[in-house]
């Protein structure tokens, strides 16, 4: 990466709404006194990328990786110095992308689990797509860090999947009460934090839930991206006490 201004490449569209929520987070939480203080970024929102969960679960033979590689090259050819992917499920293909990448890539799952480790969290509940859950990416990362990763029951996972695919992705109101019930059940199983391991879940209204129970992977990725782009992150402390601990260090 260059020593001066870093050009950020966002490999997005997975889904589109969470991609631009991520851009909003970067802009809202970068310390700035003028436009030029913000991160330079280029955004690929390839919404027609084949569904990641369907491919992971064998419900589709359409491999998302070739399409994602096309967008990776597009971003690199445009001069990107750093690549981020604001989608957890897409990180099933992370190593395939990383092998072809000419520039550094942040990993939302590794960054999130590392954040939990720094906060001395011992047990989490994972709220994510069925593809992310079945891939075991969070479970493996947590195991390496000495963290226990619990997942919803089959019925509860059905509720979470319905919220992601039938509500958020279709721009329809989500059943936040059902979401809260799943969250409460995981908390009753001893989970110290619930990880929003799907960036579509970042878009849910959680105003009536104990916000400090959650750690949003999209927030973590935004925080780490701002730092990696040599900017100063601000305002994350209100999102989770884990950010308070991080800032204090």
Which residues are designated catalytic?
Answer: 87, 198
Task: DSSP letter for 101, please.
Answer: -
Answer yes or no: are the C-beta atoms of 164 and 201 closer than 8 Å: yes
Answer yes or no: are the C-beta atoms of 175 and 156 closer than 8 Å: no
**Order of all β-strands in the sheet with 193-196:** 148-150, 123-127, 193-196, 214-216
Element (H, E) at 84: strand 82-84
**Order of all β-strands in the sheet with 7-12:** 40-45, 7-12, 82-84
Task: DSSP letter for 6, please.
Answer: P
């Amino acid at each position: 990466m260059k020593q001066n201004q870093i050009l950020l490449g966002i490999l997005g569209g997975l889904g589109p709404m969470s991609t631009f929520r991520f851009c909003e987070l970067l802009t809202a939480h970068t310390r700035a006194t003028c436009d030029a203080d913000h991160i330079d970024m280029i955004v690929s929102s390839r919404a027609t990328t084949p569904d990641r969960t369907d491919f992971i679960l064998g419900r589709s033979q359409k491999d998302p990786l070739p399409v994602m590689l096309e967008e990776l090259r597009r971003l690199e050819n445009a001069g990107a110095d750093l690549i981020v992917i604001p989608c957890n499920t897409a990180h099933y293909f992370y190593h395939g992308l990383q092998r072809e990448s000419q520039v550094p890539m942040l990993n939302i799952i590794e960054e999130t689990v590392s954040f939990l480790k720094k906060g001395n969290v011992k047990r989490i509940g994972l709220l994510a797509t069925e593809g992310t859950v079945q891939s075991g990416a969070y479970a493996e990362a947590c195991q390496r860090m000495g963290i226990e990763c619990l997942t919803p029951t089959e019925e509860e996972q059905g509720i979470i999947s319905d919220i992601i695919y039938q509500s958020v992705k279709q721009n329809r109101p989500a059943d936040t009460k059902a979401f809260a019930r799943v969250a409460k059940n995981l908390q009753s199983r001893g989970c110290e934090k619930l990880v929003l391991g799907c960036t579509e879940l970042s878009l849910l209204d959680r105003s009536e839930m104990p916000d400090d129970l959650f750690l949003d992977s999209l927030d973590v990725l935004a925080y780490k991206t701002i730092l990696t782009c040599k900017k100063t992150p601000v305002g994350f402390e209100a999102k989770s006490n884990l950010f308070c601990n991080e800032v204090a260090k």
